[in-house]
């Protein structure tokens, strides 16, 4: 969940309520009252601190400089991008308290054409989408400027997925000239002075420069570094605005004196780019001379089609009072439901039948995707504390899935036998799943269509893969090493509509100075006793299932030191001393023994 840090006094001033607090004085009563307001809106006051206190915690020193201004750290839902900054949070709380929501509008200039951004076809292979807008006659203060920068960073870390999906560039429009072009060129051909430097570099030099210094941008370099072409935005004078998603040019950087801001957003996901653009524009258009007005930009795509951004038109939804009240479990009239929705920034009207509701969702609320999201907002505005617990009228009751219950019981038994549980990855390379275990690739493994790395090509068909890797990485620990895992393997299956099936297996490995075949055999006996399945030669009951071992030639195990586990006439597993060739593949220096057992038939 994102944490939004806002100055308490500035927030209270914008809300129009100080809750009894004095400037720069920490008030427990004010904190308590505001915490209640946060809870009512579905957010949480996470911490009360100050710049000075935060520096003291970071440096572990008491004598540090810093402001005593009270800072509220507020925990907000990850999908509420509209309250990630002071402007959006205070606006939402004012609307919640009864203020009418602002009306966002597009304002086209009368004495000049729209700014134009032309997209070249080469960008399709690296970062295909771009959207843009302009905020005119903007007046920044120190606080609003910092909020403008902070919101970009929060969006980059949240919906932008650390700039992999979306990246934001903001520029002083008075220092550049349109029309702009969005291109993709070889790194050597892109030359400009990056942000906060005066040295002109090409793309390759920039990557080396950022990679060598302790820059916060270093983590973003792999997004495009290995590409033969880099995305770049130019103005009509061939001045570089930005090299997305890495860095802007120094020439067009915004400052406190910037009055006209050009916002360009490049992306691999157009929907998310549009959401980010809407958030940036709506949050800070309140500082324009004509409040909440946004100047659109004409984007000419590579196919020649022209699109005007941003699209700030509200989305229309329909739902019913009956649906909302029945799901929440409350008795509310249509008028009451509409009033609650209006408090949550969702402009709503009640139909003539007093049941249907038309909801107009503003462009700031991209989190509303379905009628259930509208119902959730009604529940929040109504107050979760006001809801009454109701037991569903049903004859069924909840319980643990049987196979999971058996798994938990077996985990306890194996752990008491001295084995340490591990949890390994479900995906592995094809070599690890077959060649490393001396097995022939018989096509039984479910393959990943577009694996990101060679380590994640197929779903494992045996738990041995992960456990042997675990032993290999811990071979420097004192021996014997005794580890186990009870989890799923995946096999292709024509009987399933998805073409594959999961099987719950138990696997354990003993690694010591000797192979420990007798130790693994003893663990199998312990497991069978816990499952109440007797050894075939020891059972006196003719009608009960028994287990036995039959010689096997499994290539994963040493010849003559391997056996299949049969319960009745069904083969459910294998145990034995692991083949030296397998140990060599996994770089394990000690002999090992293993058992793997299919446990679902014991449910």
Query: Which residue has better confidence, 539 or 486?
Result: 486
In this structure, what DSSP letter does residue 301 have? -
Class of domain 3-96: alpha beta
CA 585 vs. chain centroid, Å, equals 35
Residue 88: closest CA among 378, 312, 365: 365
| In contact, 104 and 44? CB cutoff 8 Å | no
Check whether 109 has a pLDDT greater than 70. yes
- Domain boundaries, given as residue ranges, for the chain: 3-96, 105-309, 315-386, 402-602
Task: List the Cα angle 318/319/323 in 5-degree steps.
Answer: 170
Strand partners, 551: 563
**What's residue 539's pLDDT?**
61
| Residue for token pair 């960073």 | 153
| In contact, 376 and 38? CB cutoff 8 Å | no
Mean pLDDT of the 88-108 span: 92
Tell me the CATH number for domain 105-309: 3.50.40.10
Which residues make Cβ contacts (< 8 Å) with residue 493, sequence separation at least 6?
499, 500, 501
Q: What is the DSSP string of 103-170?
A: --EE---SSSPPEEEEEPGGGGGT--EEEEEEE-SB---HHHHHHHHHHHHHHHHTTTTTTTSEEEEE
| In contact, 288 and 160? CB cutoff 8 Å | no
Reply yes or no on domain 315-386 having CATH 3.30.56.10. Answer: yes
**What's residue 66's pLDDT?**
59
Both ends of the chain: CA-CA distance in Å? 39
Query: Which residue has better confidence, 214 or 282?
Result: 282
**What's residue 2's pLDDT?**
82
On the question of a common fold for 3-96 and 315-386, the answer reads yes
Strand partners, 564: 550, 574
Instruction: Tell me the H-state helices in 22-84.
Output: 28-41, 51-59
Q: What is the DSSP string of 357-378?
A: EEEEE-TT-TT--SHHHHHHHH
Q: pLDDT per residue over 167-197, tens digit each? A: 999 999 999 998 999 999 999 999 999 998 8
Check whether 562 has a pLDDT greater than 60. yes
Q: Two tokens at 193?
A: 């002075």
Tell me the CATH number for domain 402-602: 3.30.930.10
**What's residue 542's pLDDT?**
59
Q: pLDDT per residue over 7-45, tens digit each? A: 888 999 999 888 887 887 778 888 899 999 999 998 999
- Beta-carbon count within 10 A of 172 CB: 17
Which residues make Cβ contacts (< 8 Å) with residue 32, sequence separation at least 6?
none
Q: Identify the weakest region by mean pLDDT among 211-215, 273-277, 409-413.
A: 211-215
Q: pLDDT per residue over 32-89, tens digit each? A: 999 999 999 989 998 888 876 766 665 555 555 556 788 889 999 989 999 999 999 9
Query: Which residue has better confidence, 544 or 66?
Result: 544
Average pLDDT, the chain: 90
Integer Cα distance of 523 and 547 in angstroms? 14
Integer Cα distance of 92 and 184 in angstroms? 40
Q: Two tokens at 538?
A: 């020891």
Residue 588: closest CA among 473, 510, 464: 473
| Long-range contacts, 415-422 (Cβ 8 Å, 24+) | 415/484, 417/523, 417/526, 418/482, 419/482, 419/483, 419/484, 419/508, 419/523, 420/482, 420/483, 420/484, 421/483, 421/484, 421/485, 421/486, 422/466, 422/467, 422/470, 422/483, 422/484, 422/485
For residue 522, what pLDDT band results from cuts at 50, 70 and 90? very high
Helix axes 86-96, 334-343, angle to 10 degrees: 160
């Amino acid at each position: 969940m994102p944490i939004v840090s806002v100055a308490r006094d500035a927030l209270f001033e914008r809300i129009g309520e100080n809750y009894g607090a004095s400037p720069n004085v920490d008030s427990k009563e004010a904190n308590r009252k505001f915490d209640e307001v946060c809870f009512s809106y579905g957010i949480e006051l996470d911490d009360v601190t100050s710049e000075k206190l935060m520096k003291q915690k970071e440096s572990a020193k008491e004598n540090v400089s810093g402001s005593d201004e009270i800072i509220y750290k507020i925990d907000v839902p990850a999908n509420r991008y509209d309250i990630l900054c002071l402007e959006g949070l205070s606006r939402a709380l004012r609307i919640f308290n009864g203020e009418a929501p602002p009306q966002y509008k597009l304002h086209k200039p009368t004495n000049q054409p729209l700014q134009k951004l032309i997209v070249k076809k080469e960008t399709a292979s690296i970062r295909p989408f771009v959207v843009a807008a302009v905020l005119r006659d903007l007046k920044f203060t120190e606080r609003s400027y910092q909020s403008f920068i902070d919101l970009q960073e929060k969006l980059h870390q949240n919906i932008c997925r650390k700039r992999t999906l979306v990246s934001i560039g903001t520029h002083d429009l008075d220092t550049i000239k349109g029309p702009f072009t969005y291109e993709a060129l070889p790194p050597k051909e892109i030359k400009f002075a990056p942000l906060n430097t005066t040295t002109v570099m090409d793309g390759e030099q920039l990557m080396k420069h950022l990679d060598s210094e302790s820059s916060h941008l270093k983590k973003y370099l792999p997004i495009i570094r290995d590409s033969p072409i880099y995305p770049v935005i130019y103005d009509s004078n061939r001045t570089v605005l930005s090299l997305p998603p890495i860095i802007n040019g120094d020439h067009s950087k915004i400052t406190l004196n910037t009055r006209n801001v050009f916002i360009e957003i490049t992306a691999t996901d157009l929907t998310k780019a549009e959401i980010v653009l809407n958030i940036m524009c709506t949050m800070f258009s309140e500082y324009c001379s004509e409040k909440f007005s946004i100047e659109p930009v004409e984007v000419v795509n590579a196919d020649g089609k022209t699109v005007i951004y941003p699209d700030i038109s509200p989305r229309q939804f329909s739902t019913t009072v009956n649906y909302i009240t029945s799901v929440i479990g409350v008795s509310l009239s249509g008028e009451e439901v509409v009033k609650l929705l209006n408090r949550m920034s969702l402009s709503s009207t009640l139909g003539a039948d007093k049941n249907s509701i038309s909801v107009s969702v503003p462009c700031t609320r991209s989190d509303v995707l379905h009628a259930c999201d509208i119902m959730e907002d009604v529940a929040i505005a109504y107050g979760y504390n006001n809801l009454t617990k109701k037991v569903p009228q049903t004859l069924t009751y909840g319980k643990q899935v049987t196979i999971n219950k058996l798994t938990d019981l077996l985990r306890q038994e194996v752990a008491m036998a001295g084995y340490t549980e591990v949890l390994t990855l479900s995906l592995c390379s094809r070599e690890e799943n077959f060649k490393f275990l001396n097995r022939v690739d018989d096509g039984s493994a479910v393959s990943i269509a577009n694996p990101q790395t060679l380590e994640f090509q197929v779903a494992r068909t045996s738990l041995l893969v992960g456990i042997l890797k675990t032993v290999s990485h811990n071979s420097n620990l004192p021996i014997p090493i005794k580890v186990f895992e009870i989890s799923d393997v995946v096999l292709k299956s024509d009987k399933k509509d998805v073409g594959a099936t999961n099987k719950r297996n138990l696997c354990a490995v003993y690694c010591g100075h000797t192979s420990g075949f007798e130790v693994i055999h003893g663990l199998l006996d312990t497991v069978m006793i816990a499952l109440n399945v007797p050894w075939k030669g020891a059972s006196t009951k003719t009608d009960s299932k028994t287990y036995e071992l039959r010689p096997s030639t499994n290539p994963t195990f040493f010849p003559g030191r391997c056996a299949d586990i049969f319960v009745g006439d069904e083969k459910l597993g294998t145990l034995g001393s692991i083949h030296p060739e397998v140990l060599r593949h996994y770089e394990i220096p000690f002999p090992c023994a293993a058992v793997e057992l299919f446990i679902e038939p014991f449910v």
